[in-house]
Amino acid sequence: MNDDKLKGKWKQLSGKVKSEWGKLTDDDVQQIEGDSERLVGKLQERYGIARDEAQRRADAFTAEHAS
């Protein structure tokens, strides 16, 4: 899913994001605003994982919800 589609669907996906990554706060989800780079950064911050792992998880999530 490209960034434009992600931004367009962010409100619908925000609940799924919170259920997928419970450590993300409502404020985190609101700040991300469908920006994949911000999502990766927040995943790194909250889960203490490397950037490549955060990117892999974000990519998997967006691919699963690309419809």
Q: Would you say residue 1 has pLDDT above 80?
A: no
Record the pTM: 0.89
Domain 3-64: CATH superfamily is YjbJ (1.10.1470.10)
**pLDDT tens by residue, 31-55:** 999 999 999 999 999 999 999 999 9
Structure confidence at residue 37 (pLDDT)? 95
Collapsed DSSP state (helix, strand, coil) of residue 29: helix
* In the chain, domain spans: 3-64
Structure confidence at residue 5 (pLDDT)? 83
**pLDDT tens by residue, 4-35:** 888 889 989 999 999 999 999 999 999 999 99
- Cα–Cα distance for residue pair 49/13, rounded to 1 Å: 22
Q: Give one DSSP letter per residue of the chain, joined into a string.
A: --HHHHHHHHHHHHHHHHHH-TTS-HHHHHHHTT-HHHHHHHHHHHHT--HHHHHHHHHHHHHHT--
